[in-house]
Amino acid sequence: MRFMACSNIMVKDEISSAGSKMLYNFKAPFGADVYDRCIGKGMEFAGLIETDEFGIDSLFEQNTDAAITAMLENRCDFVLCNDLFGKLQRQAPGHGLVYINPAYGAVSRQGLIPAVSSMDRIGVLCRNIDDGCRVISAISDGVSDFAKEIPDKATEYKDISQLKYTDIIPYVFYILASAEISGNTARYDGVKFGFRAENAQNLNEMYLKSRTEGFDRDTQLAIITGCMVLSKDNYNKLYHKAMQIRRLIAEHYTRLLDECGFLALSPSVTGKNNLERSVFCLLSSLCGFPSISMKHGDSERLFVYKG
Amino acid sequence: MTAENVKTYESMAKFSLDSDTRTWIADVLSGLEDGFGLLDTINTCGITPLITPLAKTNIMREDVAVKQITRDRLMSTAPAEYDGYFQVPKTIA
């Protein structure tokens, strides 16, 4: 199988920029665990794909992801990605593709350039479930059984009407994600690697110019939001509270999954912004549930499992 | 959220934004305020925060030293280097 990887997954001695000017010349000193495992299984590497900067989806723009384009252009059989914001899960079924997200922690993150450490996980964009299962088995320690539990296309789903917290999930996600993004991007200061702005007169000016010129607008928004939610005035009101609500969400949906086995949700719903549109994908990110986004019969489905 | 508020967080984030970007961020954050306000509608009294979805279990392994990356290899990605050290502009004006 030929595979590509988003550029936030490190490949030894390749420029692994994570889609960021900040890492425009960063040659990875070692390869990600998932890359080494794929190569070890005899798969053929077909190159890196420029991802959204650090995998951060724009809140408003709805451009087709480069990984989807690579699959549609038949440049590979699958792509390894970190679909934090649910962009690939939202878009994949509409293009006849499948996105499989393993449970949080089931696949090693070693060599993944971090964005949101408590939600980062490497998933697979592929053409069908069989390919996806094969890849997940190759990059994990054989925990892909959930992907074989796709229900029959004729299955009639029970409307459980217990999907609580759906209005709040996008905002809990963004508060927590932006806080972690602001922490994880603090390392990009123009000193140790990557981009450094020119003509700085002193150290502080170098930090300011490098970070201002090095990050794009959506990342700057996430970092500023992170600083806001972690600031003294907002920490308890927003960040701490969001972590508490994250527990309520996780407990509620774990109970639901115990009763139902899996949930058949929609990968894309109507909303004011991409966070709201991805609400159920973000549920999977927040709680670490494994999920599969695919066309199933006439519908686009996001199957969520307990893992 | 005003551009002036954004300026406060900007200094924490070590940015020096132009006024257009600052205004755009202020507008976006103002638009998210209603969503953030929804948090107030949930009673979280006594709830332990969920920091990570993983159960906290520590897996121990044998502590073995392995040489993976040399100092020269690491320094090769530095924007500026002098005699094996990171070189930066002066710190005192």
DSSP assignment of B12-26, as one string? HTT----HHHHHHHH
pLDDT at A261 (0 to 100) = 87
A43 membership: H or E segment, kind and range? none
Q: Cα(A209)–Cα(A207) distance, rounded to whole angstroms?
A: 6
Is residue B69 within 8 angstroms of chain A, CB to CB? yes
B52–chain A Cβ distance below 8 A for any pair:
yes
State the amino acid at position A199 in one-letter form: N
Q: What is the pLDDT of residues A186-224, one digit of tens each?
A: 999 999 999 999 999 999 999 999 999 999 999 999 999
Tokens of A6: 């988003």
- How far is Cα B66 from Cα A38, in angstroms, rounded to an integer? 23
How far is it, in rounded angstroms, from Cα A285 to Cα A161?
A: 21
pLDDT digit string, tens, across residues B30-59: 999 999 999 999 999 999 999 998 876 777
Q: Which residues in chain B touch residue A242, judged by CB atoms under 8 angstroms apart?
A: 39
CA distance A31 to B49: 34
Q: Would you state the pLDDT for residue A173?
A: 98
Query: Residues in chain A with pLDDT < 70?
Result: 142-148, 154, 161
Closest of A97, A96, A9 to residue A50, by C-alpha: A9
Task: Note the pLDDT of residue A3.
Answer: 98
Integer Cα distance of B33 and B2 in angstroms: 12
Q: Among A24, A18, A72, which residue's Cα sits nearest to residue A210?
A: A24
In chain B, domain spans:
3-40
Per-residue model confidence (pLDDT) at position B92:
74
Number of C-beta neighbours around residue A176 at 10 A: 26
Smallest Cα–Cα separation from A109: which of A118, A120, A100?
A: A120
The answer to whether A6 and A55 have CB atoms below 8 angstroms apart is: yes
Tokens representing residue B88 in the block? 């930066």
Would you state the pLDDT for residue A93?
Answer: 97
Whether residue B74 is predicted with pLDDT greater than 90 in this model: the reply is no
What are the chain B neighbours of A29 within 8 Å (beta carbons)? 69, 73-74, 77
Name which of B17, B39, B68 is nearest A238 (Cβ-Cβ).
B39
Substitution target from B27, B42, B69, B85 for chain A, most A beta carbons within 10 A: B42
Q: Apex CA A68: angle with CA A66 and CA A73, to 5°?
A: 95
User: How confident is the model at residue A147, as a pLDDT?
Assistant: 62
Q: Find the CB nearest B54 among A225, A243, A288.
A: A288
Question: Residue B9, class by beta-carbon neighbours within 10 Å (0-12 exposed, 13-18 middle, 19+ buried)?
Answer: buried
What pLDDT does residue A145 have? Answer: 65
Q: Which pLDDT score, from 0 to 100, does residue A303 have?
A: 95
Q: pTM to 2 decimals?
A: 0.95
State the Cα–Cα distance between residues A73 and A77, nearest whole angstrom.
10
Check residue A159 and give its pLDDT: 74
How high is the ipTM of this complex? Answer: 0.92
Look-up of token digits 């490497």:
A122
Nearest to A148 by CA among A121, A129, A135, A127: A129
B38 shares contact with chain A (CB less than 8 Å): yes
Interface contact flag, B79 A205, Cβ < 8 Å:
no
Whole-number pLDDT of residue A1: 95
Given the DSSP bridges, would you call strands A98-101 and A291-296 parallel, antiparallel or unpaired? antiparallel
Question: What is the CATH number that goes with domain A2-169+243-305?
Answer: 3.90.1300.10
Determine the pLDDT at residue B67.
Answer: 79
Residue of A244, A170, A179, A101 lying closest to B51 (CA atoms): A244
Strand partners, A79: A4, A125
Whole-angstrom CA distances from B40 to A140, A244, A245, A284 are 39, 12, 10, 23
CA distance A145 to A125: 17
